[in-house]
Amino acid sequence: MCAIFGIAGAEEASNLTYLGLHALQHRGQEGTGIVSTNGQEPFAHKERGLVGDIFSVAVISKLQGHSAIGHNRYSTTGGNTSENLQPLLMKSSLGWVSIAHNGNLVNSKEITKRLENEGSIFQSTSDTEVILHLMARTQERDLVKALIQALTQITGAYSLLVLNQNYLIALRDPQGFRPLVMGRLHGKPVFASETTAFDLIGASYEREVLPGEMVVVSLKDNFSIQSLRPLQDISPKRCVFEQVYFARPDSVVFGSTIYHTRKNMGKQLAKEQPAPNADIVIPVPDSGVYAAIGYSEFSKTPFEMGIIRSHYIGRTFIEPRQSIRDFGVKLKLNPVAETIKGKSIVVVDDSLVRGTTSRKLIQHLRDAGAKEVHLRISAPPTAHPCFYGIDTPTKKELLASSNSIESIRDFVGADSLGYLSLDGLLKVSSSSAGEGFCHACFSGDYPTPTFNN
């Protein structure tokens, strides 16, 4: 998962891109970058670190021009190195081209091997570079045509922003795994992974870039817009995990506000997995808060913030280093003893992946005096890895891949454990965001071939 943001025809394009990336920081924290243009040459800056730390006034003032694209990186394919930071910027027979990618190409290893055998030299280990090489190798001299030819060879998840001196192009793969939305600022187009970026810069949300749609903005024709459907239509497979976990609750993703979708997941969870004797419902903050509100409302059990989260530590799930992931659950999540002492509590979280954090947290709750702990998860068991841009652990590391619900309950030390069913999750998601979700990490039903992954 990464964040992308793009804007055309704006007075302060790079400054607005910086703000957009800031609002999308939750989608990737390893590094960030912006490439801007004045319609002739590119200006670029990328660095490892957080948006607020990397882009100073001095840096932004060098990123000139009316149009820009930006990226926050969260590594999936390729490692956490500075060569893999985006937007990538390359020169070829097409002139300079820059690209920012959210997603993961499932056939990138095969294509890279073939291109290397044919003499291509890759500058990074990121799958995104494959797209630039495929474009450069076409006979086309027009960016739009070259990009369309490249797209016919790639499979997987990609929401892309592509920039050169003539165009800003926004597009989504035909299944639309990762989100991408379009808005307007002073009548000019703006694109982002989530609408929360529009809120910050005062842009209005217009619509989703549709699965399989390519929106072409001409930088040479008063930023006019053309919508193309260059690839064969197939049924959409939007990532349901965006709604469960990744997107910000104040964003509209796949046509619905995440806050309400998560609350409804909690209501459905309470319907399916009641805990009749519970005294209070408490969330694992921040991710479990919205589902816990829904659970509390439906079950008519009081909601309490019984665990306090320190905001000075990153989200455990997004950290790629095992040494950090296991470090200090108590440092991050601390029970409020007076609230939970002697009570039977329902603890609501949005996912249970390895189970190590939940196990430690439940022990802390018992140490703080909880009488009973009933764990409720507002998603089905995560039993399969993702190949479409979410850095889930390998199948072996996923607790639910080889354990029954009863043995998971025993491992985490809860008095009871209940998950939202897949049918329940899809019912809630579909009613708010239309049909057509990928749910492979829960069901193992992968919507594309997974090649050598």
Closer to ligand SF4 by Cβ: residue 191 or 437 = 437
Q: Shortest approach of ligand SF4 to residue 388 CB, angstroms?
A: 4
Q: Is 388 in the site for ligand SF4 (CB under 6 A)?
A: yes
Q: Angle at Cα 207 formed by Cα 202 and Cα 211, nearest 5°?
A: 135
Which of 278, 370, 438, 448: binder of ligand SF4 (CB under 6 A)? 438
Which token pair is 439? 């749910």
For position 390 contacting ligand SF4 by CB under 6 A, the verdict is yes
Structure tokens at 96: 């300079």
Beta pairing partners, 95: 92
Q: How far is the CB of 242 from ligand SF4 (least distance, A)?
A: 7
Stretch that binds ligand SF4, among 183-191, 238-246, 290-298, 302-310 (CB under 6 A): 238-246
Q: Is 420 in the site for ligand SF4 (CB under 6 A)?
A: no
The window from 43-51, 234-242, 303-311, 407-415 that contacts ligand SF4 (CB under 6 A) reads: 234-242
Interaction between residue 281 and ligand SF4 (CB under 6 A):
no
Q: Which residues pair with 34 in a beta bridge?
A: 45, 70
Considering only residues 106, 240, 377, 414, which one is a binding residue for ligand SF4 as defined by CB under 6 A?
A: 240
The DSSP code sequence of 46-62 is EEES-HHHH--HHHHHH
| Residue 147, C-beta contacts closer than 8 angstroms, at least 6 positions apart | 131, 135, 162, 169, 171, 214
Question: Under the criterion CB under 6 A, does residue 177 sit at the interface with ligand SF4?
Answer: yes
The amino acid present at 435, given as its one-letter code, is: E
Closest alpha carbon to 280 in 263, 261, 305, 258: 305
Nearest residue to 375 via CA among 349, 340, 356: 349
Contact flag: residue 172 with ligand SF4 (CB under 6 A): no
CB of 382 to ligand SF4, least distance (A): 8
Distance from C-alpha of 16 to C-alpha of 174, rounded to nearest angstrom: 29
How many DSSP H helices and E strands does the chain contain? Answer: 18, 23
Number of residues that bind ligand SF4 (CB under 6 A): 11
353 binds ligand SF4 (CB under 6 A): no
Nearer to ligand SF4, 183 or 389 (CB): 389
* 286 upstream amide cis, omega within 30 of 0: yes
Least separation in angstroms between residue 360's CB and ligand SF4 is 24
Whether 191 contacts 163, CB under 8 Å? no
From the CB of 443, what's the least distance to ligand SF4, in Å? Answer: 9
Q: Is 241 in the site for ligand SF4 (CB under 6 A)?
A: yes
d(CA 253, CA 239): 10
Size of the chain in residues: 453
> Which 87-106 positions form the footprint of ligand SF4 (CB under 6 A)?
none
**Minimum Å distance from CB 238 to ligand SF4?**
8
State how beta strands 437-438 and 238-239 pair.
parallel
Pairing of strands 3-7, 67-73: antiparallel
Distance of CA 296 to the CA centre of its chain: 27
Q: Would you please indicate which residues are annotated as catalytic (active-site) residues?
A: 2
CB nearer ligand SF4, residue 22 or residue 262: 262
Identify the residue among 182, 386, 398, 417 touching ligand SF4 (CB under 6 A).
386
Residue ranges with strand state E in 11-87: 31-37, 42-48, 67-73
Name the nearest CA neighbour of 268 among 232, 295, 230, 305: 295
Q: Which stretch binds ligand SF4 (CB under 6 A): 93-101, 342-350, 372-380, 436-444?
A: 436-444
Whole-number minimum distance, CB 178 to ligand SF4, in Å? 8
Could you tell me which of 377, 415, 369, 426 has the C-alpha nearest to residue 399?
377
Q: Does 239 bind ligand SF4 (CB under 6 A)?
A: yes
- In the complex, minimum distance from the CB of residue 171 to ligand SF4, in angstroms, rounded to a whole number: 18
Q: Which is nearer to ligand SF4, 297 or 391 (CB)?
A: 391
Restricted to residues 10-49, the positions that interact with ligand SF4 (CB under 6 A) are: none
Distance CA 116, CA 296 (A): 56
Q: How many CA atoms lie within 13 A of 8 on its CB side?
A: 27
Structure tokens at 131: 């797209």
Binding site for ligand SF4 (CB under 6 A): 177, 239-241, 386, 388, 390, 438-441
